[in-house]
A and B are shown apart, each in its own frame.
Chain A
C-alpha cells in the first residue's frame, strides 16, 4: 500500500474531499482528497503568471501609461523627468484644434464608408463563391490573396493603377468617354475615396471567407422547407440567409470599423496624409504630432479621444444588431 492510501485512510480525514459529504469514499476520491489536502492557494497563480505578466506588460501598463501621458506635456527627449502635468489642457486644446476635427471627419468617412462597403462587397463575393463552380477553391484563394499581400506591394500596384495620367483606371475612363477622370491620390477630393477603394479591395476577400464559413453553418432544412413553401431566391436570402449572417456581419462590421479607425499603414505609404491634409486621418495625425512634433502628451490625448469614440460607436453597432439575427 502506498503512503498516499495510508495517509488518507486515517480516521477523521475521510469524506473531507466530498463536495457535499454524501458520496462514499473510494480509492479515487481518496486520491483526489490527497491532492486537495495538499492544495496551495498560489499554485493556480503560478500557471496564470505568464498570462498575467503578458497582459500587464503589453496591455494594462501601456494603456495606463497612455492615459497618464494624455494629461501631460512630454517631448520624450527630456526623459521621464521632463514630463509636465497639464491636466485637461491637451483635451481643451483638442477641442479647439481644427486639424483634429477635420481628421476625425476624415476618419469617420474612411471607416464609416469603407467598412459597410467592404462588408457588403465581401458578403456578395462570399455568396457568389459559395455556389458550386469549377476550381472553386482556386477562385476563392485568388479573391483571398489581397488580404495576404504586403501593404507596400498592394500600394505600389494601386499607385500604378490609379496614376491620373498613365494608370489603367483612368485610361479606361477616358476610353469610355470621361474627359476629366479623377486625379485619385494626387487630388484632394479623390485621395481619400481612392484609399477607401483600395482598402475595400484588400479586405473583401477576408470578409468573403468568413461569410462562406457562416453560410456553411446555416441549417439546410430551413432552405428545404422554404422551397417547399414556394419561397424564391430573394425570399430565401431575406428570410434565412441574411438573418443567419447577422452575427458574423456584426462581428465583421465592428472589427473592420475598429481596424479602419486605426488605419495607418496604407495612408502612411500611399499619401503620407496628403495631398495637403486630404488623407490625414486621426491615426496619422496622432503619429505626426507624436513622432514628428514630439508632443507625446497631445498625441496620447488624440489616441484617448479616438479610442473613446471607437468604443462608443462599436457599442452602438453591437446594440443595433441585437435581436436581429436568425438565432437571437
Chain B
C-alpha cells in the first residue's frame, strides 16, 4: 500500500501543477481576471478577528446543521453577526452565487463544491488568498504543507476543504449474511463483480447500483489528463477496461442497464432503492448515513455495513476517488476578512460537530474522531442499524489516499462529452473502441480550444 501524500506528489502533482498553471493561463485567457476584484485594492478590514458582520452562502439547508453551527459560533463570538444564505448546488444555484459575487451582493464567505468552481472563482479574483493566514495558523497549516492534500492554485491556497469524503461501499449486512457472502476489506474490482453476481443470484433485482471505476482509482484525481493538462488521457487502456467491465456487469445483471437508469430516472434516488431492497450494494460517502439513519423517510429493518472502495487489481497501489471537498472561500471583497477567517476555522474545527448529522466529517474530525461526532453521524439507533466497527475499518484508514484534482483544463466540457459518449456505449449504439476514439478526439479539441 502507499502513503497518500508521497504517492500524490510522485504521480500527479508536480505534473499537475504545470497543468494547473496551464489551466489557469487558459482561464485567464477567458478574461483578464481583473473583473471580480483582483484588480481592486482589498477593502479595509472593518472588523477584527472577533468582530464583524458576515454573510455566508452555503449549499446545505440551514436546518441540516449550518444554522446550529452559526448559533454556536455567535454564542462564542457575540460580536460577529452571521447571516447564512442557502444556494442550491446545481447549475442555476452556482450561477446565482457567481453573479452575486461579481455583481456586488455582500458575501463574505461562500462554499465551492468541486475543484472547477474553486479554481474558477479564485482565478476570477473573487476569493481571498489564504496562504499566509494558513501558514501562521496551527489548524490550517496542513493545507499549505509541501505536499498538497487539497486544491492549490499556483501554489497558493484560496480555499479550505471542510469535509473529508472518501467513497466506500455501503452494504446490506443482513443480505450478505443470508446469502453467505464473505467480503474482505482488501477486495478488488473483480471481487466486487463476483459479489454483485452473487447478490443477483440471491434474488435481488441487481447486485449493485454503481459499477466500480478503474481509471480514476488507478490514476488519481487528474486521470483524464496527460502532459500536465495539454492532452486528454482518454486513450489510456484503463478507460477501455472500465467500459468493458461496465458492459459485462450490465449483461449479467450485476448492475442496472443504462436503459433502465434512463427510463426510470434512477439517478439521485439511489438510497431509496437500497432501502427498499432493489439492490444490496452501492458506492457513496458519509452522506449516505444521513438517509440510512432516518427511519421516518427511509424505513428499513436491516443492518448496514461498509467496505473500502475496491482496488482495481490485487496488491496494486490505488486512489480513493473521493476528495477533501466542500471548500469554503473568503470573498476578496469582504469587509470583514479577519472575522471571516475566524468563522472558517470554527467551521472546520469545533463547529464541525454541528455538520455531522448531515453526514459531514471535517478533516480535523477525521484525524480526531470523537464519540460526539459518531453519535451525530449514526443517530440514536446506530448499533441496531449500522455495523460501526466495519465503518471504522473502512473509513478511518489512511489508504487508499484521497484524490486531489489539480488540472481543470476544459474540465466541464470533457466531463459532459465523456458522460454523453459513455451513455451511448452503455446503450450499445456505439462500440467501446469507437466511443473512446471519439471521446479522445473531442476532449483533445476542447483542451486545444481552451488553451487557445
Interface residues of B in 89-138 (CB under 8 A from A): 91-92, 95, 98-99, 101-103, 120-121, 123-126
A159–B31 contact, CB under 8 A?
Answer: no
Interface residues of B in 330-358 (CB under 8 A from A): none
A81–B39 contact, CB under 8 A?
Answer: yes
Q: Which of B29, B125, B424, B449 contacts A188 (CB 8 A)?
A: B424
A143 interface hit (Cβ, 8 Å): no
A274–B423 contact, CB under 8 A?
Answer: yes
A81–B32 contact, CB under 8 A?
Answer: yes
Stretch among A123-131, A230-238, A287-295 lining the B interface: A287-295
Q: Which of B126, B262, B416 contacts A186 (CB 8 A)?
A: B262
Looking across the interface, which residue of chain B has its beta carbon closest to that of A275?
Answer: B423
Q: Which of A81, A165, A291 contacts B35 (CB 8 A)?
A: A81
Q: Which of A78, A93, A273 contacts B31 (CB 8 A)?
A: A78
Query: In whole angstroms, how far apart are the Cα atoms of A159 and B263 in the complex?
Result: 7
A276–B421 contact, CB under 8 A?
Answer: yes
Which residues of B are found within 8 Å of A147, using beta-carbon distances? none
Q: Which of A75, A82, A274, A295 contacts B420 (CB 8 A)?
A: A274
Which residues of A are found within 8 Å of B32, using beta-carbon distances? 78, 81-82, 84
A276–B427 contact, CB under 8 A?
Answer: yes
Which residues of A are found within 8 Å of B30, using beta-carbon distances? 73-75, 78, 82, 84, 295
B263–A185 contact, CB under 8 A?
Answer: yes
Which residues of B are found within 8 Å of A183, using beta-carbon distances? 259, 263
A275–B424 contact, CB under 8 A?
Answer: yes
Looking across the interface, which residue of chain A has its beta carbon closest to that of B425?
Answer: A276
Q: B124 CB to closest chain A CB, in angstroms?
A: 4
Query: In whole angstroms, how far apart are the Cα atoms of A183 and B258 in the complex?
Result: 12
Q: How large is the interface on A (under 10, 10 to 19, 20 to 34, 35 or more residues)?
A: 35 or more
Q: B259 CB to closest chain A CB, in angstroms?
A: 4
Which residues of B are found within 8 Å of A275, using beta-carbon distances? 258, 262, 423-424, 427
Q: A84-B32, A186-B263, A276-B423 are in contact. Are A79 and B258 (CB under 8 A)?
A: no
Which residues of A are found within 8 Å of B27, using beta-carbon distances? 75
The interface size of chain B toward A, counting residues with CB under 8 Å, comes to 43
Query: In whole angstroms, how far apart are the Cα atoms of A183 and B261 in the complex?
Result: 13
Query: In whole angstroms, how far apart are the Cα atoms of A119 and B404 in the complex?
Result: 55
Which residues of B are found within 8 Å of A274, using beta-carbon distances? 262, 420, 423
Interface residues of B in 26-49 (CB under 8 A from A): 27, 29-37, 39
A306 interface hit (Cβ, 8 Å): no
Produce 1/0 per residue, A142-162, CB < 8 A to B: 000000000000000001000
A159–B98 contact, CB under 8 A?
Answer: no
A188–B427 contact, CB under 8 A?
Answer: yes
B174 interface hit (Cβ, 8 Å): no
Q: A76-B102, A276-B429, A277-B420 are in contact. Are A82 and B262 (CB under 8 A)?
A: no
A46 interface hit (Cβ, 8 Å): no
B412 interface hit (Cβ, 8 Å): yes
A43 interface hit (Cβ, 8 Å): no
A84–B31 contact, CB under 8 A?
Answer: yes
B265 interface hit (Cβ, 8 Å): yes
Interface residues of A in 74-101 (CB under 8 A from B): 74-84, 93
Looking across the interface, which residue of chain A has its beta carbon closest to that of B415?
Answer: A292
Produce 1/0 per residue, B423-441, CB < 8 A to A: 1100101100000000000
Which residues of B are found within 8 Å of A81, using beta-carbon distances? 31-32, 34-36, 39
B264 interface hit (Cβ, 8 Å): yes
Query: In whole angstroms, how far apart are the Cα atoms of A74 and B29 in the complex?
Result: 10
Q: Which of A77, A78, A84, A293 contacts B416 (CB 8 A)?
A: A293
A187 interface hit (Cβ, 8 Å): yes
Query: In whole angstroms, how far apart are the Cα atoms of A164 and B263 in the complex?
Result: 7
A163 interface hit (Cβ, 8 Å): yes
Query: In whole angstroms, how far apart are the Cα atoms of A186 and B429 in the complex?
Result: 11
Which residues of B are found within 8 Å of A77, using beta-carbon distances? 31, 36, 98, 101-102, 120-121, 124, 126
Q: A198 CB to closest chain B CB, in angstroms?
A: 14
Q: A82-B33, A188-B427, A276-B421 are in contact. Are A76 and B262 (CB under 8 A)?
A: no
B260 interface hit (Cβ, 8 Å): yes
Which residues of B are found within 8 Å of A271, using beta-carbon distances? 262
Query: In whole angstroms, how far apart are the Cα atoms of A76 and B27 in the complex?
Result: 12
Looking across the interface, which residue of chain A has its beta carbon closest to that of B126?
Answer: A77
A78–B36 contact, CB under 8 A?
Answer: yes
Q: B151 CB to closest chain A CB, in angstroms?
A: 16
A82–B35 contact, CB under 8 A?
Answer: yes
B367 interface hit (Cβ, 8 Å): no
Query: In whole angstroms, how far apart are the Cα atoms of A93 and B37 in the complex?
Result: 30
Q: B332 CB to closest chain A CB, in angstroms?
A: 11
Extra contacts besides A84-B32, A187-B259 (13): CB < 8 Å: A75-B27, A76-B102, A77-B102, A77-B124, A78-B123, A78-B124, A80-B35, A83-B35, A159-B263, A185-B263, A186-B259, A276-B421, A291-B95
Q: Which 5 A-B pairs rank lowest in CB-CB distance, beginning with the nearest? A: A82-B31, A79-B35, A81-B35, A78-B31, A79-B102
Q: Chain B residues in contact with chain A, CB under 8 A?
A: 27, 29-37, 39, 91-92, 95, 98-99, 101-103, 120-121, 123-126, 258-260, 262-265, 412-413, 416, 420-421, 423-424, 427, 429-430, 449
